[in-house]
Structures are given as structure tokens and as C-alpha cells.
């Protein structure tokens, strides 16, 4: 007779169910896991911060009555035509190839409806995106796929991509199954092969070279459009300082919750630092150079709502950028496709095999039938609604803190729930005046 | 002919003049003093001679134009050029023709490392030697080397052709020597003819290109990755 255990079965914290499944998958396939999206770990994040609303010692503004400015100008350091945005939330770079043309169009439509910018990605500029984006940032990436001086001159700003939060120090990968004729032609590569995006630019290394690269781009575009430099959240103090010193108008810092089209899981979850930890070092670098607010700082990576926007701005950012959240607004991982997700062995909310080109929502795919599931007009409207809600949420918080401009929010308006987040954000632990590390 | 003198004009003045000039204009740039980003972003058929050596990114992202540098050029010569021609009478530094989509570059001297990196359709002719990692991840176009090639030639190459008359120190991952067919010999002759190069023996050239074994991820290639 079987002996009955008197204790509950104990699962290992170290070898949890996901870890075990990943070991089995690796053993079975011999291939590391590649997926899209950003870090899924439980990282310190903006939820660990709280605002200190006004009461007697601070004076609040009336909600719905007193104005709270949301406009921001990006790139007025050296360019003659900076971006004038109605809201401090931009759409991050995502490539045609990784996304369908319809998705790129929807992003452009949504951003334009609310007066903000969208950004190209690896693979160049599509006519759908340019045509529907009032303010379009053109990325200069290491691969230079689709890089074209004609498109460069059509851009409203240029973003030199040095790194991406999901994979600091890493390149990209667009697997062959997503390479249709149009994507292949834009990237000057055969159809159906894996397209590796290098991790370094082909014609420069280091900040001294980057300064000359920025000069070249300004000479090509007549010093009209702003030059952004995007760095991954890794060593934000040094990278932001070097980008600013190299002549950038705007620096974008992308934390490890920032998404990718396709990268190794081990890379996404183990390289880089959380977005929360990026902001203060980046701001300090600009302040020490006397360039805070002169070189604008955009923070991205896991921004989800108006509270995140307000917190990033309170820590010193000038704007934020969203990618994954924008795709969710369009319909990514929507429960209405649950049955289709189940056929792919996943669930709505967990789907991240964007590289396989089978996205039921028609966003991260080039499949002719699937892409029709996304109506660019409707998607654009949904994105605009979402951006408006985020902005109003941020305004609500700012007014409660007595601020008539989102960018007047400051670290003094914040406290932290954990010692870790207090140290990372440089704000006091709630109920104390203790800032760890100070 | 219009003379643009760096002793009298700024880089912005000169580039603005070149970019805004009439088609078929001819310019001579004097005293370039190794300036960076000279004659970039030109979008029409004009002819520019530069008397002296230039710095980084000379003739970058140009279309249609003919640029001749009577001297040497710094890193990134003709980067991302779309069409037109560049001729450098001296040597060129790293990354010459990086990600160039079209047109041709002729270098009378030597080219440093990573010549033709990520090239996407440009033809590059180097009458001297090229440094290591040349034609790295080269996607399309032709790299013709009259002299020797450094280590790791054509590493991770895609569909570009490499022709070498001299010695190759070593080949990079997935780059192999391929048969010089009549079609490829004709291709080589056309490239050189278009660049007005005639003093060569086609029989001395060997052809290199992709083995195409790394085109799709395969765990059996893990040691190469």
C-alpha cells in the first residue's frame, strides 16, 4: 500500500514551472527561445512610486477648470524645425516587417489625431506611415535596411538608434517566415531568409565618431530637423552624457521593459536595467552638463498609463514613448482572439511569438489574410482614445500636485513604496525623508 | 567651373551650394583641410572635384553626382550612396562604401578595414589592398580588389560578389571561393569598364561569395555563431 504523505507537495522556487518548461523546451529543440515584447519579470517599476497630492502645505489646481499644459517641444537645441507635440507621449520606433503596413498606418493615424509623433523602425519608411503621420521620426539603425536619403529628407526628425532596452548591446532578428516580397525588397535581401540586424553601426564607433555622424546628418538635412539619439537602459548616466555631448537634440532612454520584435528570451530578461532606474541618472547627466530641458529626454519601456507618464516627467523626463502599449490599444493580445491564441499554444495576454508571423490580431504579421483583421482607421481611433486618456490621467495627477504644466511635476511630488524604488528613483521612502544612497 | 574655397567658405556654405546647384554644374573645392561631411546629400547630377584630402563621410548619401577626391579620404567614404560615382586618387580609411545602395566607388590606393560593410548594391573597386572584415554582411553589389584582402573577408556575406586578384589572408564565416563563370567574368568586366579601368588581366581574379549556410538559423551551426 502506498504511503500517504503528511506534507503538501513542495515545488521549488528555483525550479518553478516556467523554468522547468524552458529546460524541457531547450532539451527538446536545441534552440534558445526567441520572442517579442519586453521583460516580463516583476521588476521595480513606476507602480512603486506614489504622488504626494496637495493639501495644506501645497495648493492644488481645480480639475476640469484650471488649465494644465501638455505641450512639449522636442529638438530645439540645434534644429530650426523642432517637433511641436500636443502631448508628451510619442510612439516608439517599430519596423515595417515586424509590423504590418496596416499597423504602421494605424499608429500614424492615431498619433496624428492627438498631435504627437510616430517613429519608423528597421526596414525604412513606408508610404502608409509617412502619409498618415503628421510628425514622423525616421530611425537610422545599424542595419541601414531601407535607409534612403530621400526618405531622410521627408522626415520630421531623425533618431540614431544606438541601443534598445530589450537588448542593450544586441542586434535584431527578423525570421524568414515574415519576409515577404515587399519586406525583402525594402531590405535588399532575398525572400525567406533570416534578417539579422547588426548591433553596431557600420560606419562609426564611439562618441567622437557619433558627433561627426550627427554633423553629416545635419548637413544632409540642412540643420532643419532634430536629431534624436536612442540608447538602451544600461549605463544611462554615461550614455546620455555622451549623446548630449555629441550634439544630440533629444536623447531617448529605453529601459528593459521596452519591447522588441524578436530577441532571445535570455537577453530580454537578463541584460539592461529597469526603466525606473534609468530616469534619474539620465537627468543628472543632463543637469551636470547644464543641458536639462535644453536637450530633451524621452523615457520609454513599459509605460502604460497616465500615472506612468506623470511619474517619468516628475523624475525629469520631457516626454515618454510607448510601443507595446500602443500595440495593445490596436488590438494586440485581445481576448476576442482567444481561440486563435489557443491554437498557437498560448493565451490572450501571453502571446509573444511575434517573430513567427501568425499574430491573430493582424499586427505583427505579413500574412495577407491576418493583416486584414486590423482596420487602420479604427485602430488609429483606438490609439487616439488611449493617448487622450493617458494625457488626461497625467493632467489629473499634475493638478492634484498643484502643477499647471505636466513638466512642472518634480521629484518632490513623489515618494516610494520600497527601499529599492526609493534608491532607484531618488525619492524618499513613503512616510520618511530617507532617500537610500543619498 | 565654380571654385569653392574652404579658406573663404564654411562647410555649411559649401554643402548648401552643392545641394542647391543646377544640374550638370561643375565645382572645384579647394583647401578641404580634411573636413568631415563634405559634399554629402547631393541629389542631382553634378561634378565635384576636391583638391586635397577629406575627413569622414565624404559624398555620403549622394545620388547621381560624380565626386573626385584628389587625395585621401577618411572613414565612411560614400556611405549609403544611392547612385553616381566617387573616385579617390589616394587611400581611404575604414568603412568605405558602407551600406551603399548603388553607384560606384573607385579607389586608386588602399582601403582600410570593413570596406564595403553592409553594402547593398554599390560597386567598389580598390586598386590596392583592403583591410580586415571587408564586405562584412555585404548584401548586394560587387567589391573588386586588385591587391590583397585582410582577414575575415566577406564574413556573413549575403548576395554580394567579391573579386580578388591578390592574396586573401582568410575568409570570414560563410564566405567561400566560387567558380568564376562566364557570367561573373562579364560582370567583372562591366564593373571595371563602367569605371574606366582597363589595365588589368581578368584571369588573375578569383570570385568569393556566400555559401548561404547561415541564411536561416540552425542550431547545428552554433559553433559558427
Q: What is the CATH number of the domain that holds B41?
A: 2.160.20.60
Q: Which residues contact A123 (CB under 8 A, 6 or more apart)?
A: A95, A96, A97, A98, A145, A146, A174, A183, A186, A187
* Range(s) of the domain holding residue B178: 2-215
- Option in A30, A188, A213 nearest B120 (CB): A188
**Tens digits of residue pLDDT in A211-239:** 999 999 999 999 999 999 999 999 999 99
B44 has a chain A CB within 8 A of its CB: no
- Tell me if B126 is assigned to some domain: yes
Q: Can you tell me the distance from the alpha carbon of A77 to that of A247, in angstroms, rounded to the nearest whole number?
A: 9
Q: How much is the pLDDT for B130?
A: 98
Which cell numbers hold the place of B2? 565654380
Higher pLDDT, A140 or A29: A140
Question: Which of A63-72, A271-280, A382-391, B212-221 shows the lowest per-residue confidence on average (mean pLDDT)?
Answer: B212-221
Q: How much is the pLDDT for A188?
A: 85
Look at residue A33 and tell me whether its pLDDT is greater than 70: yes
- Tell me if B224 is assigned to some domain: no
Q: Pinpoint the alpha helices (H) of A331-412.
A: 338-343, 368-371, 376-400
Q: Is residue A275 within 8 Å of residue A18, measured between CB atoms? A: no
Look at residue A364 and tell me whether its pLDDT is greater than 80: yes
Q: Which of A149, A185, A207 to mutate to test the interface with B (most CBs of B within 10 A)?
A: A149
B113 has a chain A CB within 8 A of its CB: no
Interchain proximity A204–B140, CB inside 8 Å? no
Interchain proximity A30–B11, CB inside 8 Å? no
Tell me the average pLDDT across B65-81.
98
Residue in A closest to B158 by C-alpha? A189
Task: Kindly report the nearest CA distance between residue B206 and chain A, in angstroms.
Answer: 24
Look at residue A389 and tell me whether its pLDDT is greater than 80: yes
- Tell me if B15 is assigned to some domain: yes
- Option in B63, B139, B216 nearest A176 (CB): B216
Q: What is the mean pLDDT of chain B?
A: 96
- Tell me if B223 is assigned to some domain: no
Task: Kindly report the nearest CA distance between residue B43 and chain A, in angstroms.
Answer: 9
Interchain proximity A212–B156, CB inside 8 Å? no
- Measured between beta carbons, the chain A residues lying within 8 angstroms of B99 are 144, 147, 202-203
Q: How much is the pLDDT for A1?
A: 62
- Tell me if B196 is assigned to some domain: yes
Q: How much is the pLDDT for B216?
A: 78
Look at residue B225 and tell me whether its pLDDT is greater than 80: no
What domain count does chain B have?
A: 1
Look at residue B223 and tell me whether its pLDDT is greater than 70: no
B156 has a chain A CB within 8 A of its CB: yes
Residue A426 CA to its chain's centroid (Å): 22
Q: Can you tell me the distance from the alpha carbon of A222 to that of A131, in angstroms, rounded to the nearest whole number?
A: 23
Look at residue B220 and tell me whether its pLDDT is greater than 70: no
Task: Kindly report the nearest CA distance between residue B97 and chain A, in angstroms.
Answer: 9
Task: Kindly report the nearest CA distance between residue A149 and chain B, in angstroms.
Answer: 6
- Which of A29, A155, A322 lies closest to B41 in space, CA to CA? A155
User: The pTM is what?
Assistant: 0.95
Domains and CATH numbers, chain A: 49-331+374-425 (3.20.20.70)
Interchain proximity B99–A30, CB inside 8 Å? no
Interchain proximity B76–A203, CB inside 8 Å? yes
Amino acid at each position: 500500500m502506498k504511503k500517504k504523505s503528511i506534507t503538501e507537495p513542495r515545488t521549488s522556487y528555483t525550479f518553478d514551472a516556467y523554468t522547468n518548461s524552458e529546460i524541457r523546451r531547450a532539451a527538446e529543440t536545441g534552440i534558445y527561445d526567441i520572442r517579442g515584447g519586453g521583460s516580463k519579470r516583476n521588476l521595480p517599476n513606476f507602480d512603486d512610486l506614489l504622488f504626494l497630492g496637495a493639501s495644506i502645505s501645497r495648493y492644488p489646481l481645480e480639475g476640469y477648470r484650471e488649465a494644465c499644459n501638455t505641450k512639449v517641444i522636442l529638438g530645439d537645441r540645434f534644429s530650426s524645425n523642432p517637433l511641436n507635440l500636443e502631448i508628451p507621449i510619442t510612439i516608439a520606433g517599430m519596423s515595417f516587417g515586424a509590423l504590418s503596413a496596416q499597423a504602421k498606418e494605424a499608429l500614424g493615424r492615431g498619433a496624428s489625431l492627438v498631435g504627437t509623433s510616430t517613429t519608423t523602425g528597421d526596414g525604412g519608411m513606408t508610404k502608409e506611415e509617412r502619409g498618415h503621420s503628421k510628425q514622423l521620426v525616421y530611425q537610422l539603425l545599424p542595419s541601414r535596411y531601407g535607409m534612403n536619403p530621400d526618405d531622410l529628407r521627408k522626415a520630421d526628425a531623425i533618431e540614431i538608434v544606438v541601443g534598445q532596452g530589450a537588448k542593450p548591446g544586441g542586434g535584431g532578428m527578423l525570421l524568414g517566415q515574415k519576409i515577404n516580397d515587399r519586406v525583402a525588397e525594402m531590405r535588399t535581401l532575398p525572400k525567406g531568409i533570416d534578417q539579422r540586424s547588426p548591433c553596431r553601426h557600420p560606419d562609426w564607433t564611439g562618441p567622437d565618431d557619433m558627433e561627426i555622424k550627427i554633423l553629416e546628418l545635419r548637413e544632409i538635412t540642412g540643420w532643419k530637423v532634430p536629431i534624436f539619439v536612442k540608447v538602451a537602459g544600461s549605463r544611462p548616466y554615461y550614455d546620455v552624457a555622451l549623446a548630449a555631448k555629441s550634439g544630440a537634440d533629444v536623447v531617448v532612454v529605453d529601459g528593459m521593459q521596452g519591447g522588441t520584435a524578436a530577441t532571445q528570451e535570455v537577453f530580454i530578461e537578463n541584460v539592461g536595467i529597469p526603466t525606473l532606474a534609468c530616469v534619474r541618472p539620465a537627468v543628472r547627466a543632463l543637469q551636470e552638463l547644464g543641458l536639462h530641458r535644453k536637450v530633451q529626454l524621452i523615457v520609454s519601456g513599459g509605460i502604460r498609463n497616465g500615472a506612468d507618464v506623470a511619474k517619468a516627467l516628475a523624475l525629469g523626463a520631457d516626454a515618454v514613448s510607448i510601443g507595446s502599449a500602443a500595440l495593445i490599444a490596436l488590438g494586440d493580445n485581445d481576448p476576442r482572439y482567444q481561440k486563435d491564441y489557443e491554437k498557437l499554444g498560448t493565451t490572450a495576454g501571453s502571446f509573444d511569438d511575434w517573430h513567427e508571423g501568425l499574430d491573430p490580431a493582424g499586427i505583427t504579421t505579413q500574412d495577407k489574410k491576418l493583416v486584414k483583421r486590423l482596420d487602420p482607421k479604427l485602430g488609429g481611433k483606438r490609439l487616439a482614445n488611449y493617448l487622450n486618456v493617458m494625457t488626461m490621467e497625467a493632467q489629473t495627477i499634475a493638478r492634484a500636485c498643484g502643477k499647471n504644466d505636466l513638466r512642472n511635476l518634480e521629484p518632490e511630488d513623489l515618494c516610494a513604496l520600497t527601499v529599492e524604488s526609493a534608491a532607484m528613483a531618488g525619492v524618499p521612502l513613503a512616510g520618511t525623508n530617507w532617500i537610500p544612497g543619498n | 567651373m565654380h571654385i569653392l574655397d574652404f579658406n573663404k567658405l564654411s562647410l555649411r556654405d559649401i554643402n548648401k551650394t552643392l545641394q542647391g546647384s543646377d544640374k550638370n554644374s561643375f565645382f572645384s573645392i579647394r583647401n578641404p583641410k580634411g573636413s568631415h561631411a563634405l559634399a554629402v546629400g547631393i541629389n542631382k547630377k553634378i561634378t565635384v572635384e576636391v583638391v586635397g584630402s577629406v575627413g569622414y563621410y565624404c559624398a555620403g548619401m549622394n545620388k547621381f553626382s560624380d565626386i573626385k577626391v584628389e587625395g585621401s579620404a577618411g572613414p565612411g567614404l560614400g556611405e549609403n550612396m544611392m547612385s553616381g560615382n566617387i573616385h579617390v586618387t589616394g587611400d581611404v580609411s575604414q568603412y568605405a562604401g558602407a551600406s551603399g545602395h548603388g553607384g560606384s566607388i573607385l579607389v586608386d590606393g588602399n582601403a582600410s578595414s570593413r570596406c564595403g560593410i553592409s553594402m547593398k548594391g554599390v560597386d567598389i573597386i580598390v586598386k590596392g589592398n583592403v583591410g580586415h572584415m571587408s564586405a562584412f554582411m555585404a548584401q548586394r553589389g560587387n567589391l573588386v580588389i586588385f591587391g590583397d584582402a585582410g582577414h575575415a573577408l566577406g564574413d556573413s556575406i549575403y548576395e554580394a560578389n567579391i573579386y580578388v586578384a591578390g592574396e586573401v589572408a582568410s575568409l570570414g564565416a560563410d564566405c567561400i571561393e566560387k567558380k568564376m563563370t562566364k557570367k561573373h567574368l562579364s560582370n567583372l568586366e562591366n564593373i571595371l569598364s563602367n569605371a574606366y579601368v582597363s589595365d588589368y588581366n581578368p584571369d588573375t581574379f578569383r570570385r568569393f561569395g556566400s555559401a548561404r549556410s547561415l541564411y536561416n538559423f540552425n542550431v547545428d551551426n552554433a559553433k559558427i555563431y
